Structure 1
């Protein structure tokens, strides 16, 4: 039957378990969870991304806590020391997200349902990939995850840009697993790529296209010059779960295909 009492330290296990119909297993969620909306109403919020209410989590008597990435290492350590089993996933690409969904489903004893969900998501990716292959032109896209300092997009975002018909402006940075290696010390690095589209998704705060447009020497960047500076809301694209492969990809497709067909 798998674990019956699960604390989700990030949003993607919560969204996935709801899609699998296994939400009754969830006893605590991240305060940043917005998908699905029902989770915010039904489940106690016990963590942020880099901190957690360990005492509150222990009161919930979880069988396992599920989180994401090295950034949650301190939370994981505290819970492990308190005797809680912890799974910290570290998936960074599109195929790894699909594999994560399958693993999570197997963990809770619903492997067949998880396989079906992952297969459905994969077919959606293939449909967008096929439509994008027919575009008459393919823009260079700079994706910005944070502004102070500039941080470019993580690998799954870069791969989704490619699926949606764009070309990643900074592929060497997207391949880096750690955020510190995606920090852009010199904005001239972005300018030199001459991006046709700029997409911002500042985690936890509203993206400001007007601030991008007034950066020194950015006025001649094609995306700024042509008014192609867009926002994709961070909950749609910056969590490595179903949202990124569905609504996040749909937003990238809308922006990139719109540019290509104008």
Structure 2
């Protein structure tokens, strides 16, 4: 069996420990007839709040920690360890989740009980963000508000990608290595990961390729990757006890990034969650990439 699944869980658990700043749209009048929702994904929960549908939330998963009000909602557990009893006890009309949620048998049981289950494909693309907005709009009976939000987000995304494309013709792309380091065994991201996609969207190149998912961070991998920049989450730095302790890892000393202490950090949910704040996350990363190469 592949080892990518538990490593993927590490990433999702890291998202569950993150926070994210955003702007909530004005509340709409509460209507008791509107569908009651359970959301299983911090990014999906954020969309609910952006659409002003938080009064319809009857439960969220443990990755749903922003905004602060979401922390006080009834919790259905970790997104990969859901239970039919826990979900059905909240009497939702709809559950909105990604294909990273499960177990699948639990979601099938919930469907059999007559609850609508919206599953969104998580493929680390801008389309994933769009699908999350559209799914929440449908499930919450707020499709007009969802179209308005999507139009705004699409405009922001297009502006950011135009800026990245313009910079690409003026110089080389930085080699960036994402390190998942919230435990004693740091891992690095290959292809088919959220980090890989985000690095590319921000105008960088993933310094590691040839494999999918995450692998242990080894001295050999660091030497061959030769990253200009190390990218990690603020939660990883906190788990290490600060930036200085992070740089003490001997594997990092073999990289060009170590010599320049070129480190970029970002909140885990903002960086890897593929939520509605993705345009601002990528814009921030792009500017930091340019500054690191200056």
Same fold at TM > 0.5: yes
Q: Which moved more, 1:107-116 or 1:189-198?
A: 107-116
- Residues 64-98 of structure 1, C-alpha deviation per residue, up to 9 Å, x if partnerless? 2222234x221x42243252443332322222223
Structure 2 counterparts to residues 1-262 of structure 1, below 5 A: 4-41=35-72, 43-52=73-82, 54-70=84-100, 72-74=101-103, 76-82=104-110, 83=113, 84-100=115-131, 101-132=133-164, 133-134=166-167, 136-146=171-181, 148=185, 150-152=187-189, 155-173=193-211, 176=212, 181-184=213-216, 186-201=218-233, 206=238, 208=240, 209-243=243-277, 245-260=278-293, 262=294
Would the alpha carbon gap of residues 203 and 66 (structure 1) be closer, same or farther in structure 2, given more than 3 Å must change? farther
What TM-score, normalized to structure 2?
A: 0.72
Aligned residue pairs total 251
Stretches of structure 2 that go unaligned for 5 or more consecutive residues are 1-30
The gaps in structure 1 that reach 5 residues or longer are none
Q: How far off is 1:226 after superposition?
A: 0.6
Q: Distance in 2 between matches of 1:50 and 1:187?
A: 32
1:204/1:166 CA distance change after superposition, 3 Å = closer
TM-score, reference length from structure 1: 0.80
